[in-house]
Amino acid sequence: MTSKPVTVAWFRQDLRISDNPALNAAAAAGDVLPIYILDDVNAADWAMGSASRAWLHHSLNALNLALDGNLRIFRGDAREVIAQLVTSLQLEGFFWNRCYEPWRIRRDAQIKADLIAGDIQTRSFNASLLWEPWDISKKDGTPYRVFTPFYQKGCLSSARPRQPLASAGQIQWSDLAIDNSLSIDELELLPSACWHESLCSHWQIGESAAAQKFDSFWQNTLTDYKRGRDFPALDATSRLSPHLHFGEISPHQIWHQIDQSSMHDHGDGPAHFLREIAWREFSYHLLYHFPELPEQNFNRKFNGFEWLDDEAGLQSWCRGQTGFPIIDAGMRELWQTGYMHNRVRMIVASFLIKNMLQHWRNGENWFWDCLIDADLASNAASWQWCAGSGADAAPYFRIFNPVLQSEKFDPEGEYLLRYCPELADLPARFRHKPWEASEEVLTAAGIKLGKDYPVPILDLKTTRARALGRFKALV
């Protein structure tokens, strides 16, 4: 057994080797014991959903390979797991990179106090945000509630994000024997149904895959990002969100590579993409300062809003069976790939909240289970934004018309047909609204509404007027 000092590097949402401050610090301190703890106990209602768990399974395998098979795996209350490690092993230090979910902040504060009381060197680092939430505030010291001043006056006027760190180099791994560690398979992250196999087939997972995806986006897509990102049929977005969420790539790596690239060569793309990265920062800023964001209306006047309780309608939305092709395509994309194009996310959210009058929590919960990039801050902030109840929210009268959105951003129905192939033989103009096609046209396309494709579950004009009436009552 080694006699050198042993320092734990606790991996969390930083499943990478490069630009990993905690791992670098642990490697500089002595032999490194890398661990991962699946803590559903403290996560409680915000334990990872099914899609995220499937991604995590593969990401942990990729990380373990990069760590030469030295990653030790545990499951349970992290405070208890760490207490057992401290009791059974001679540890010099315990290092990790910070997370910002309210339940993690509470838990980590307790763990840090326990470790310090046991005279174990304990340090945490920033590895997942460009600016710490407590470092950005208005002149009066209060948190920002509107994105543009948060970004322009807060972030861009603050210290520049740190440069990415070089990898630790040659790391000496601890050979301490630990009896109660598990294999990654023993975490049972993959669902018993084979659904995850189709989902994961659409992705390459892990740090190397993240770097390759970012490099491809930077070289081939960034220039046209500002325009192309609105068209779901195009490969015009980065699709980096799951890699960012699990920390397979850091925002510092993204920020500095884009910021240092030639802005002239890429037009408006870089500035617009960095602004989207800053929206992620804003979501964490809100979650840190307003930890009730995932569960309570940010704008309290929405507490009196009268939502509908329509389980059958909700299930039609979840399954992609609403009769509105752009809605159904988006929901089917989510189920099949664990992802949804951002423009379509806004359309399906508006439809659920405003046309269907479903509580935004219903959409938030479904996305939490089905998205591979399910991020507590971004998910909560985005659903409240769409509902009009959040910070810097879309006004209540912004109600997306799914037909007009589909016709504008997917004119030929290319995106629709990927996920609603039953509409393939319809003329392009009817793919967005098959209910307007004549019986003759529908028959020629092999479609009987209500059998081959759903009849619309609601009337857009009537439900829009209903939503406007209820929202106006809150003003």
Q: What does the pLDDT look like over 357-411, one tens digit per residue?
A: 999 999 999 999 999 999 999 999 999 999 999 998 777 788 999 999 999 999 9
List active site positions: 276, 279, 307, 342, 360, 383
Range of the domain at 77: 6-125
Q: How far apart are CA 34 and CA 73, in angstroms?
A: 9
What is the CATH classification number for the domain harbouring 324?
A: 1.10.579.10
Q: Dmax over Cα atoms in the chain, in whole Å?
A: 82
How high is the pLDDT of residue 196?
76
Q: Are residues 329 and 468 in the same domain?
A: yes
In a domain, 182, yes or no: no
Q: How far apart are CA 138 and CA 154, in angstroms?
A: 7
In a domain, 357, yes or no: yes
How high is the pLDDT of residue 262?
55
In a domain, 165, yes or no: no
Would you say the C-alpha torsion 77, 243, 335, 355 has a positive or negative sign?
Answer: positive
- For residue range 185-201, list pLDDT tens digits in order: 999 999 887 777 888 89
In a domain, 422, yes or no: yes
Q: Are residues 327 and 461 in the same domain?
A: yes
In a domain, 189, yes or no: no
What pTM did the predictor assign?
0.95
Q: Are residues 133 and 266 in the same domain?
A: yes
Q: Are residues 136 and 265 in the same domain?
A: yes
Last residue of a domain, one of 269, 289, 309: 289
Buried b / exposed e along 436-474 (16+ C-beta atoms within 10 A): ebeeeebeebebeeeeebbebbbebeebbebbeebbeee
How high is the pLDDT of residue 197?
82
Strand partners for 75: 38
Q: How far apart are CA 267 and CA 273, in angstroms?
A: 11
Q: Are residues 356 and 462 in the same domain?
A: yes
How high is the pLDDT of residue 380?
98
- If you compute the radius of gyration of the chain from its CA atoms, what whole number of angstroms results? 24
Q: How far apart are CA 71 and CA 56, in angstroms?
A: 14
In a domain, 175, yes or no: no
Q: Are residues 304 and 269 in the same domain?
A: no
Residues of the chain falling short of pLDDT 70: 1-3, 260-266, 475
Last residue of a domain, one of 125, 144, 179: 125
Q: Are residues 265 and 342 in the same domain?
A: no
Q: Are residues 368 and 274 in the same domain?
A: no
How high is the pLDDT of residue 327?
98
How many domains would you assign to the chain?
3
